[in-house]
Amino acid sequence: MNGHAIQRSVRQSPRKMRLVMDLIRGKNVNDAYGILQFSKKLAARQIAKTLKSAVANAEQHAQKGNESFDVDELVVVDAQVQMGSPLKRFSAAAQGRATPIRKRTSHVHITVAEKPVAKQKKGAK
């Protein structure tokens, strides 16, 4: 069972979001929640919302397929931040000119899945 969630047009630059996203990639979901909860970065709040949605989607997927579900077995498999469309604004400059300002946005993609079960070698006990 797996679940994914996408949050589009988050009003924060992708570069700042990736700093937090690198902390949780490949971690257990419960560990990722703890990291995001105690992070000082503003991006952690938006990423936590997306992670919560991905876990809820995985739970719904399991219920739909009549499978067992355990949150403790979930791992953040894929975590990406992509650039969204920037908001273009202009600021006043000297001598009647205007300078462009690009307020960047981000798209957050998070996928969670169960831990892969390691197969034991033959002859190992």
pLDDT digits 0-9 by tens, 15-74: 999 999 999 999 999 999 999 999 999 999 999 999 999 999 999 999 998 888 888 899
Cα–Cα distance measured from residue 117 to residue 31, given in angstroms and rounded to the nearest whole number: 19
pTM: 0.86
Q: How far apart are CA 22 and CA 115, in angstroms?
A: 19
15 inside domain: yes
Q: Give 102-122 pLDDT, tens digit per residue.
A: 999 999 999 999 987 666 666
- Nearest residue to 75 via CA among 111, 39, 38: 111
Residue 121, domain member (yes or no)? no
Which residue range forms the structural domain that includes residue 64? 2-114
Decide if 77 is inside a domain: yes
Q: Is residue 76 part of a domain?
A: yes
Mean pLDDT of the chain: 92
In a domain, 95, yes or no: yes
Provide, for the chain, the percentages of residues in helix, strand and coil under a 3-state DSSP scheme, each rounded to the nearest 5: 40, 35, 30
Tokens in use for 27?
């971690």
The CATH number covering residue 6 comes to 3.90.470.10
Distance CA 88, CA 79 (A): 27
54 within 8 A of 4, measured Cβ to Cβ:
yes
Q: How many domains does the chain have?
A: 1
